[in-house]
Structure 1
Amino acid sequence: MKEITRRKFMIVSTLAAGFALAVQPISAQVINTNTQGLIAGEVKIPVEDGEIPAYRAMPATGSNFPVVLVVQEIFGVHEHIQDICRRFAKLGYLAIAPELFARQGDVSQLSNIEEIISKVVSKVPDSQVMSDLDATVNWAKNSSKGNIDKLGITGFCWGGRIVWLYAAYSPKVKAGVAWYGRLVGESTSLTPKYPVDIAPYLKAPVLGLYGGKDNGIPNDTVERMRQALKEGESRSEIVLYQNAPHGFFADYRPSYQKQEAEDGWKRLLAWFKQYGVG
């Protein structure tokens, strides 16, 4: 009976098509990666209280692919996140992006960032996210195509913070790359810890990619994180692009910085290769 009641909270049963309403209009520079040579599309991930939708992309032939968890921005698993999964798949990865807000609401139909945060994102517990990512890893393993001995994670904005946390939480993660995820914050019952709190205890190496002109993540908090990482032995590093704003990888938005985005992507791929994800 309890399980049936909890299932009612599965608000989002399928992924959004296209881009989230809050990010319209889409920039002309947007990158579109085709599905030629890929298996790509929506799958369902069994979780404790039902199932959540996810976007999965992988090569159409072969198996035993290294696995990359792609963690969404606050806009959910919309077209940009799906495209990133296809970019990984073109390089031989099984990339999967679970819809981590599925129980709390459909952010794709909300018209502004403040509404997205207040109505949905602020209600998502870190414990739920960790559990759903575990379930996603299990799905990748059980699908018979993914090799979770080569597990990486990357995420953007909201997902960037999650990368740091999941790398500390899961012993399966070989390496992570966090794009401009918040590093410090107020502890709450839903978000008890921030990256700076767990930095000394990290086991897996995480590469942080941050913007020097990010108004939401001050440079002094980046430096605090660097110092905290020195207390541990995870080999994690942070790159600060001095002239980049928040969201510099988001090619569908005006914040996109082509040079820094391409450099960051090259660093990500090299980082994954260096630490056994690939």
Structure 2
Amino acid sequence: MNDSLTAETIRFPGHDGDEIEAYLARPQGETRRGGVVVIHHMPGYDRGSKEMVRRFAELGYDAICPNLFYREAPGAAPDDAAAAGRAAGGVPDARLIGDVAAAAAQLRALPTSNGKTGVIGHCSGGRQSVLAACHLDLDAAVDCYGAFVTGTPPEGFPLKVSNIVDQLPGLRAPLLGLFGADDSFPGPEQVAELEQILTAHGKDFEFHSYAGAGHAFFSTDRPSYNVAAANDGWERIAAFFDKHLGA
């Protein structure tokens, strides 16, 4: 644990060379370390997402969160940017992969990088974390209750999103999945389907489901926050990244 850190907003070229905004936090010191790309949830590039970036810096990683809605609403408040992102149907998968690739490259270009980079996402970001790990050379991925990795969005769902079952055979990184047993998206049956697919393809993964926890149990500022599940989840995330990123 390193309580001394720096944090700043930066801009860099994302997918297709578009300039995007990101929040970068780094521990002080020149120790070689892994990096973590944090994919924000559907509510956007908000305070909670930035707090998570700083927490990974405290754990000893260089960490970055790209603002996935920057193109739709540059400079807008998180709520307004998230609304613009939803109105556009969400972040296209190809753009997401490109932005995460660029964010990972930013981390690996830092003089403190040990060359290893992981990705983590919550809610929509959980699905996007798995998606990125199916297409990019990452060293670890964490899916926190990501909806529609498997399963089908309900009729009238506002986002242009589909499952990524056809892409799961290409998963390139060890995967940690953390889920609420009382969640509906993903529900236990969708988590079970994901487990079956990954097992059938010989993938390296570990899943944990928490009884009494619903969606967004990591979100400290929402009624869904579940202290026991979140605390255990953070311990598992720390151990998982320590194993695969070498903090």
TM-score grouping bracket, smaller chain normalisation: 0.7 to 0.9
Q: How does 1:79-228 map to 2 (within 5 A)?
A: 79-105=47-73, 106=76, 108-110=78-80, 115=83, 118-120=86-88, 122-147=89-114, 149-171=115-137, 173-182=138-147, 183-185=149-151, 194-228=163-197
CA distance in 1, matches of 2:116, 2:72: 31
- Distance in 2 of aligned mates of 1:58 and 1:222: 33
The count of corresponding residues between Structure 1 and Structure 2 is 237
Greater Rg by CA: 1
After TM superposition, give the deviation of residue 159 of structure 1 in Å. 0.5
SS of the equivalent of 1:110 reads: helix
CA contact (8 A) 1:196 1:224 kept: no
Q: Aligned partners of 2:235 and 2:144: how far apart in 1?
A: 13
Contact kept? 1:67, 1:277, Cα under 8 Å: no
Cα distance, 1:263 vs structure 2: 0.3
Residues 89 and 221 (structure 1 numbering): CA distance in 2 closer, same or farther, change over 3 Å? same
Are the counterparts in 2 of residues 44 and 52 from structure 1 also a CA contact under 8 Å? yes
Indicate the residue corresponding to 2:156 in structure 1. none
Once the two structures are superposed, the pairs formed by residues 223-262 of structure 1 within 5 Å of their partners are: 223-262=192-231
Aligned to 1:71: 39
- The 3-state SS of whatever aligns with 1:248 is coil
Q: Deviations over 1:78-111 (max 9, x none)?
A: 1111111111111210010000121123572339
* CA-CA distance at 1:145 after TM superposition: 3.0
How far apart are the structure 2 equivalents of 1:151 and 1:118? 28
Shift in Å, 1:232: 1.5
When residues 58 and 103 of structure 1 are mapped into structure 2, their CA distance, relative to the original with a 3 A threshold, is same
Alpha-carbon distance change, 196 to 243 in structure 1, aligned in 2, over 3 angstroms: farther
Which residue matches 2:17? 49
Q: Could you tell me which amino acid in structure 2 is paired with residue 166 of structure 1? A: A
Distance of aligned partners of 1:104 and 1:185 in 2 relative to their CA distance in 1, 3 Å threshold? farther
Q: Tell me how far 1:203 sits from its aligned partner.
A: 2.6
Give the direction of change, closer, same or farther, for the CA distance of 1:43–1:151 in structure 2 (3 Å limit): same
Structure 2 length-normalised TM: 0.87
| Contact kept? 2:37, 2:65, Cα under 8 Å | yes
For residue 116 of structure 1, report the CA deviation from its aligned partner: 5.8
Kindly indicate whether the alpha-carbon contact (under 8 Å) linking 1:200 and 1:231 is maintained by their aligned counterparts in 2: no
Percent identity of equivalent pairs: 32
Distance 1:194 1:267, change over 3 A: same
| Rounded Cα–Cα distance in structure 1 between residues aligned with 2:125 and 2:246 | 19
Q: Runs of 4+ in structure 1 displaced over 3 angstroms?
A: 115-118, 190-193
State whether residues 180 and 210 of structure 1, in contact with CA within 8 Å, keep that contact through their aligned partners in structure 2: yes
- Give yes or no for contact 2:35–2:107 (8 Å, CA) kept in 1: yes
Q: Which runs of 5+ in 1 are unaligned?
A: 1-34
Distance 2:29 2:225 in 1: 33
**Are the equivalent residues in 1 in contact too, given 2:13–2:19 (CA < 8 A)?**
yes
**Structure 2 residues not aligned, in runs of 5+:** 154-158
What is the deviation of 1:136?
A: 1.1
Name the SS of the counterpart of 1:230 in structure 2.
Answer: helix
SS at match of 2:245: coil
The answer to whether the 8 A contact 1:68-1:154 is kept is yes
